[in-house]
Chain A
Amino acid sequence: MTLFLIVALPFLGALLPGVMNGAGRAATAAVTFIVTLAAFIGLLSNLPAIWAGEVVTARLSWMPLLGLDANFMLDGLGFFFALLILGIGLLIIAYARHYLSRDDNAGQFFTYLLLFQGAMVGIVLSDNILLLLIFWEMTSLSSFLLIGFWKHLPEGRQGARMALTVTGGGGLALIGGMLILGNIAGSYDLSVILSEREAIQASPLYLPALLLILLGCFTKSAQFPFHFWLPHAMAAPTPVSAYLHSATMVKAGIFLMARLWPVLAGTPEWFVIVTTAGLVTMVLGALIALFKNDLKALLAFSTVSHLGLITMLLGTGTAFGAMAAVFHILNHATFKAALFMSAGIVDHEAHTRDIRRLGGLRRLMPVTFVIATLAALSMAGIPFLNGFLSKEMMLEETTHTVLFGLDWLAPALATFGALLSAAYSFRFIGHTFLGPVRDDYPARPHDPGPGLWVPPAILVTLFIVIGCAPFLAEPFVKLVTAALLGDAAEVPYAYLAIWHGLVPALFLSITALVGGMILFLAYAPLSRLWETAPRPEAKSIFDRVIAASVRGASALTHGLHNGAFTRYAAIAILAILVFGAHAWVTGTVGAVTRSVQSAGPIPVIGTLILAAATAGLVILHRNRFLALILIGIVGLMVSIGFVYLSAPDLAMTQFTVEVVTIILLLLALNFLPNRSPVESGVLRRVRDGVLAVAGGVATFTLAYHYMLRDAVATPISEFHLANSYKGGGGTNVVNVILVDFRGFDTYGEIIVLGIAALLIYALTEALLDGPVRRRLLNRIPDQRRSGDMHPMMMVVLTRVIMPVVLLVGFYIFLRGHNEPGGGFIAGLIVSIGVVMQYMASGFAWTSARLRYPYHGIIGAGVLIAGFTGIGAWFVGKPFLSTAFTYVRIPPFAEFEIATAMGFDLGVLLCVVGAVMLSLESFSRLARRADTQDSDHPMDIDPSRGEDAGQQGGTA
């Protein structure tokens, strides 16, 4: 089966349990099982190739410019982990089906589980490290959902948050480290990175990359000092603990260390950091585990300890250490998953996991007792069980490891760890199952149905087989080790066996077992000692750190973002000025290359009018109506300036936009107060004035310098001017640029315009639905209403000129390609024509005659423009290519038909729709407020009777 399908199956399958949630636990579990089984079989179908030493790949170019490709690679190491993930996954699903209760949302659970499974498979099969990072983050997220699955339990929520914070933070560090690594290697493909050992280890960035990657691995695999999240994650349902926190997710960090072992390992930095962290974690985890009373907490800390052991083995940097690590990963995954499932069974049947309330379960739950005991003995390292084999290899490896120049340190610590490990394993058996039967269990314990004990029993069989006949596992372990080592080292010659002769490791192993037994027998006094000893509580430290970060963050946010807009604006303006001044001072100013053009008296007068209007606006802005008139003058002068400076299209656009903007502001002023009160002190106004003048001087200087110099490169407009007629079929170059050369930009802009109008519509709707509606209905207008709301002259005039306006709009539209005009301007003209009808004849009269809603017009405009662009595809041209031809229909003169016209029509419709929808929304507010609509469009209508006229007039 292709690797794509193996990775994709869990994700696709994740939909099923959620969708069929109503079908019950059994059905959702069955479908989850089938999906996983399919992926598992797919994985196994690749076994022959892997066995032959091949690397199976599947490549799909995704975003090659970013170096992000969907490349997958399956070698021995990836196969090994994928086998663990999917194989143990199958057992866990079967177990969970019986473990979850009727109240649990099984569909949700299995969906999360499959998402997690897919992400894990993705990690171990990724060839591209960016892809790997994506899957990495997905495991953090999906495990968050799984740990917090019992949302009603505060421990579950807190544990999930802590796990996400720690592993997510590590994930961020990992991203940094991986990007550095990819940069050094020149590729984000693992297969390339793995062959760049020398370059990477010689790079000055090796150490930062190593530290960041290890941070990611250590947080994920709960290595000291990040070990504290794992026990808190045990608030999850037991299947999750067994799956994520023994076999899979916590192994992701181990996997990555193993995957990158050929390029990262072997340096002194790697050796010291990884070996030390591993040893410390191993001893510390085992020590805490020994004194834990919660079965799952005991197992959690023992997992921490065993992960430390594996990390330490990888840290030694020798091929033998790597092989021992691989073997122990396999062994640990099998016995620890079985142990978690046994603990889950005990919890499920006895309703408690507290060791102090258990004991004597041997007679009540014989099946569970056998399974749990065998698993725990394997963990303790008893011969003929697999834990013994890898533990002895570990001890053997430490006897060759010289840490900090001391050759006894590593073996001593490792033996001490193994001793503690044996002690807590004995305690797990002794205090749970042995001893007298009690009569105060919360529930009457008994063996569960086979659904719960068969999955762990399968694992137990597996590790007994490995334990008794290690040579069966040897080829596989060596295959995986070969893949792990890559080209960096040779697979060691050593073989897996129970009896290696009287080697030092054997004596260390015996010491550990005997010492463990002594510790177990002396547990009661030791426990009292432990209880009285002071020790830091990781959770409270973590909580304090989080609380402090939250305080710091909110102090910073509220300090900077205190809700004062004027402050933000002032800071932004000041910052722009400072940066601009810096650029101005440090940069160089080129020589003047253009001469100043002389200006006649008229431009000077125009500029003075504009400046006076602006100054007047600033001084008189408190009188809002006056301010509107003044800003109208400013806009008008700008339009005239455009005419004068050879920009007729701009002038027409500015002029028409000015009209609709003023109408819009008038509609708004209908509600807003007419005056702005004086609120700023003199000092404040001086400060603002200084900022304003500085800004003005800056833009003046910039514009002036700019205009006196030619462009540093030939403007691309040369091309536009040369090709406008030849290629675009139009002589109005501005319009041809809009609808042809830069048609895609224009297309985006009309869409933005449409979105803005829809936003306004939506805001109006929200306002009219909310409390504002009542306020509007009760509002008393602060100004006297006009006595003649619909003056007859205006009504008659606007109706008469409506066809003329439309004709003008049509004319401007048609000629746009060759003369000033086009869709934008025509759209604005048509809008003004329609707005006039609203103003003169009233909202109701106009709305009643409206055949199409304005949203529809916006949509039609965007669609017409889009389809016109797509039309080019049918003749094999890129999107928005235009074609044109000249036709002559007698008796008219020859005229041009261009596809660009269709696009321009879309622009026109979009502009009309957007402008009208905005204005209409504002008027709807007004209508809601105070206007009683006249029944008649004209208040005074000679054709109606005298009474009717009177009535209308008072309305």
Chain B
Amino acid sequence: MELLVALIVGVLTAGGIYLVLRFRTFPVILGMSLLTYAVNVFLFSSGRLTIGAPPILSDDVTLYTDPLPQALVLTAIVISFGMTAVAVMIALGAYLGSDDDRIDDTPQDREGTS
């Protein structure tokens, strides 16, 4: 089980990094989403894996999984939505403003700034 979760983290990270290094805004946003999943799963796994022991207290159960990473990841998921939305908005604004969804400045842009 641990191997599978670690694999998931690795695969998501690899996919995320590759997409983040693309040239257009949309794949970069997708890549950031993948990295978000990877980070969340990794954080979650820091509570160690437990199957069938949710942290819902009950009188006849003594084994619970670690609830703290879950609480942290829960808010992280919601915040990541906000982050994605802002990134998408910026990407969209840039595209609508210049009719170009390249993520790097073109050499002309760079001329303009220097």
Contacts and interface: CB of A to CB of B under 8 A. Distances in A.
Is the A/B pair a real complex?
yes
B58 A647 contact: no
A231 to B, nearest CB: 35
Contacts of A431: none
Nearest 10 A/B pairs, CB to CB: A696-B14, A700-B10, A563-B105, A756-B82, A704-B6, A692-B18, A731-B57, A733-B67, A737-B71, A733-B55
A938 interface: no
Given A634-B34, A679-B23, A738-B71, A657 B10 contact: no
A878 interface: no
A349 interface: no
A642 interface: yes
Contacts of A610: 8, 11-12
Given A646-B53, A650-B77, A653-B78, A763 B104 contact: no
B85 A646 contact: no
B85 A664 contact: yes
Interface in A750-775: 752-753, 756-757, 759-760, 763-764, 766-767, 770-772, 775
Contacts of B7: 607, 611, 700
Given A653-B78, A688-B21, A695-B17, A648 B104 contact: no
B60 interface: no
Contact of A746 (B75, B81, B110): B75
A630 B102 CA distance: 23
Interface residues of A, number: 122
A818 interface: yes
A319 to B, nearest CB: 59
Interface of A: 554, 558, 562-567, 569-570, 573, 594, 596-599, 603-604, 607, 610-611, 614-615, 617-618, 621-622, 624, 627, 631, 634-635, 638, 641-642, 644-650, 653-654, 657, 660-661, 664-665, 668-669, 671-673, 676-677, 679-680, 688-689, 691-693, 695-704, 706-708, 710-711, 715-717, 720-721, 724-725, 731-734, 737-738, 742, 745-746, 749, 752-753, 756-757, 759-760, 763-764, 766-767, 770-772, 775-776, 818-820, 824, 828, 911, 914-915, 918, 921-922, 925
Interface string B54-90: 1111100000111110110111011111111110111
Interface in B22-36: 22-30, 33-34
9 contacts: A563-B110, A597-B51, A618-B15, A668-B91, A688-B18, A691-B17, A699-B9, A703-B45, A721-B64
A700 B77 contact: no
A795 to B, nearest CB: 27
B49 to A, nearest CB: 6
Contacts of A624: 26
Contacts of A688: 17-18, 21
Contacts of A717: 47, 66-68
A860 B17 CA distance: 39
Given A611-B8, A707-B5, A752 B82 contact: yes
A647 B90 contact: no
A876 B27 CA distance: 52
A614 B12 contact: yes
Contacts of B15: 614-615, 617-618, 692, 696
A314 B53 CA distance: 76
Contacts of A752: 79, 82
B6 A646 contact: no
A590 to B, nearest CB: 14
A696 B10 contact: yes
A11 B81 CA distance: 46
Given A617-B34, A649-B70, 16 more contacts: A617-B15, A621-B22, A635-B37, A646-B52, A649-B74, A657-B77, A671-B95, A696-B10, A697-B14, A699-B42, A704-B2, A717-B68, A721-B57, A737-B67, A756-B85, A756-B86
- Size class of the contact patch on chain B: 35 or more
Contacts of A563: 104-105, 109-110, 113
B57 A597 contact: no
A724 B12 CA distance: 34
B6 A665 contact: no
A539 to B, nearest CB: 27
Contacts of A921: 89
B32 to A, nearest CB: 10
Contacts of A649: 70, 74
B78 A753 contact: yes
Nearest to B29: A665
A753 B83 CA distance: 8
A665 B88 contact: yes
Contacts of A745: 75
Nearest to B83: A756
A579 B69 CA distance: 25
B77 A653 contact: yes
B78 A707 contact: no
B75 A692 contact: no
A381 to B, nearest CB: 57
Nearest to A760: B89
A572 to B, nearest CB: 10
Nearest to A825: B74
A631 B80 CA distance: 15
Nearest to A607: B4
B93 A767 contact: yes
Given A597-B49, A603-B4, A696-B17, A776 B96 contact: yes
Contact of A749 (B64, B73, B79, B93): B79
Contacts of A680: 22-23
Contacts of B3: 596, 599, 704
Contacts of B28: 565
A638 B56 CA distance: 21
A300 to B, nearest CB: 38
A571 B88 CA distance: 23
Nearest to A622: B27
A710 B65 CA distance: 13
A775 B8 CA distance: 43
Contacts of A621: 19, 22, 27, 30
